[in-house]
Amino acid sequence: MAEGQASMMNHLWLILLCLLAPAGQAEDQPLRMSVEITPGNEITIGDEVKLLIKIDHDASYTLVPPSDTLPLRPFEFKRAHVATPKSSGNRVTDSVTVVCTIFDLGNFQIPKIPLTLIDANGLSVVAHTDKIPIEVRPMLKEDDAELRPIKGPVSVNLLAFYKAVLWPVILVILLTILYFWLKRMAKKTAHTISVDDQFDATMEALGALRELRKRHRNIFETSAASEKQKPTYHFEKPDMEATDEAMVALLDLQDQKLLVEALARQFHGELSHIFRHYVGRRYSFPTFEKTTSEITMLALQNGVGEEVRNWMHAILDHCDFAKFAPTEPSKEDCEHVWKQCWEFVLKTRPPPKDGTATLSVVRSSTSGR
């Protein structure tokens, strides 16, 4: 009887241990991870994707800040920020914000992001996020209405104004002086002036006025020539349309073979000059020696649409980041941003005027050279 009771007690203790084991394992769970994505799983090209990663772990572990060169291809890693940890009992919650972007269309996956935890003994635990699907859509839709150029305020040419108004006034004054001078000379002369003498005097006066007019015109032409400024960029062609000029400059940039010579920073600098000059000519506002923020503000003031402004800002921001980034941009990044500039020029091309010939480019628009 006693042996039966002892066996029953052993079975009860075994059942109790089995019930309590999952609870203890749950309390000792090393970490829990969650990921929030902003703005969502559908973005437009050039948008920034923000991943808020929260990892809940035991207080004995410490989160190691992520590297500044996270491998997120095909996405471009921009920055990572670690927030102040939040403690609750023997649990700690760390928050890490990872920002990336992409300049291509289609369906992609953000690869797994590793996060490392170290305990007091120096032992490390690496946790990975799940792959996140992202759909990248174009900035402009095919059925969107064609963009029209925004005309700026009418500018007044002061030199033309002076030529049109000042010269007739000077001519009237000179004729008035000539009239009074001839009248005075007539009073001094006692004898009667013949018709031939009057004709000779008039012709002489007109010859003097004609010579004065020539000199006056030369003065104005010299001033106009001195006001002509040399082109700001070597690729400028004022006699061409803004779109044709930009396309020729982009194709010439390919011929320079800067990517073959591993001059990616110089490639981005030249591409930035071409794109800024095209934007300035296309939308009629100055872009020379302007920052990306100033160009975006000028575009807003000149009535450029929001989608075009965002696309414009994404290309300029990428070029600025590539020029001053601590690491050398890859050849694939250079080819992607070149394609974006080419597509931007084609999408924002103004409608052709009647009777105006356009440049036909019979060259490949791919950058794989």
Determine, yes or no, domain membership for 177. Answer: yes
Query: Are 116 and 142 in contact, with CB atoms under 8 Å apart?
Result: no
Same domain membership, residue 214 and residue 185: yes
Cα–Cα dist 298/308, whole Å: 13
Determine, yes or no, domain membership for 233. Answer: no
Query: Are 310 and 203 in contact, with CB atoms under 8 Å apart?
Result: no
How many residues are recorded in the chain?
369
Which residue would you say has higher pLDDT here, 222 or 232?
A: 232
Q: How far is CA 119 from CA 31, 57, 65, in A?
A: 13, 11, 14
Token pair listed for 39? 């703005």
Which domain does 45 fall in, by range?
28-137
Going by their DSSP bridges, the two strands 132-137 and 42-44 should be labelled as parallel
Determine, yes or no, domain membership for 311. Answer: yes
Residues 6+ apart with CB under 8 A from 178: 205, 209
Which residue would you say has higher pLDDT here, 92 or 233?
A: 92
The pLDDT of residue 18 is above 70: no
Q: Which helix (H) or strand (E) holds 57?
A: strand 48-58
* One-letter amino acid for residue 248 of the chain: V
Determine, yes or no, domain membership for 62. Answer: yes
Q: What is the pLDDT of residue 173?
A: 92
Q: Quote the pTM value.
A: 0.37
For the chain, give the percent of residues with pLDDT over 70: 72
Of 180, 196, 227, the residue that ends a domain is 227
Please state the rounded mean pLDDT for residues 19-47: 68
CATH of the domain at 311: 1.20.120
What is the count of structural domains for the chain? 3
Determine, yes or no, domain membership for 329. Answer: yes
Q: What is the pLDDT of residue 344?
A: 93
The pLDDT of residue 289 is above 50: yes
Q: What is the pLDDT of residue 341?
A: 92
Q: What is the pLDDT of residue 112?
A: 87
Token pair listed for 323? 């020029």
Same domain membership, residue 270 and residue 202: no
Same domain membership, residue 255 and residue 328: yes
Same domain membership, residue 326 and residue 273: yes
Long-range contacts of 120-128 (CB under 8 A, 24+ apart): 120/60, 124/64, 125/30, 125/31, 125/61, 127/31, 127/33, 127/55
Closest CA to 282 of 155, 157, 152: 152
Same domain membership, residue 57 and residue 82: yes
Determine, yes or no, domain membership for 162. Answer: yes
Query: Could you tell me the pLDDT band of residue 223, with boundaries at 50, 70 and 90?
Result: very low
What digits encode the pLDDT tens for the residues 161-200?
A: 777 778 888 888 999 999 999 988 888 775 555 666 677 7
Cα–Cα dist 35/136, whole Å: 19
Determine, yes or no, domain membership for 259. Answer: yes
Same domain membership, residue 105 and residue 201: no
Same domain membership, residue 204 and residue 254: no
Q: What is the pLDDT of residue 106?
A: 87
Chain centre to alpha carbon of residue 121: 49
Query: Could you tell me the pLDDT band of residue 133, with boundaries at 50, 70 and 90?
Result: very high
Residue owning tokens 């989160």: 63
| Helices and strands, counts by H and E, the chain | 8, 11
Cα–Cα dist 102/109, whole Å: 11
What digits encode the pLDDT tens for the residues 336-362?
A: 888 999 999 999 988 776 544 444 443
For the chain, give the percent of residues with pLDDT over 90: 7
Which residue would you say has higher pLDDT here, 212 or 13?
A: 212
The pLDDT of residue 28 is above 80: no
Query: Are 125 and 31 in contact, with CB atoms under 8 Å apart?
Result: yes
Chain centre to alpha carbon of residue 336: 14
CATH of the domain at 126: 2.60.40.740
Same domain membership, residue 306 and residue 255: yes
3-state secondary structure at position 285: coil
For 59, phi then psi, to 5°, come to -65, -15
- Bridge partners, 116 (sequence order): 64, 126
Determine, yes or no, domain membership for 184. Answer: yes
Q: What is the pLDDT of residue 35?
A: 86
Q: Which of 163-167, 258-262, 281-285 has the highest mean pLDDT?
A: 281-285
The pLDDT of residue 267 is above 80: yes
pLDDT, mean over the chain: 76
Provide the 10 A C-beta neighbour count for residue 318.
Answer: 25
Half-sphere exposure of 100 (CA within 13 A, CB side): 24
Q: What is the pLDDT of residue 128?
A: 85
Same domain membership, residue 33 and residue 133: yes
Which residue would you say has higher pLDDT here, 219 or 296?
A: 296
Please state the rounded mean pLDDT for residues 9-19: 51
The pLDDT of residue 209 is above 80: no
Same domain membership, residue 128 and residue 174: no
Give the CA-trace dihedral at 12, 17, 22, 24, to 10 degrees: 140
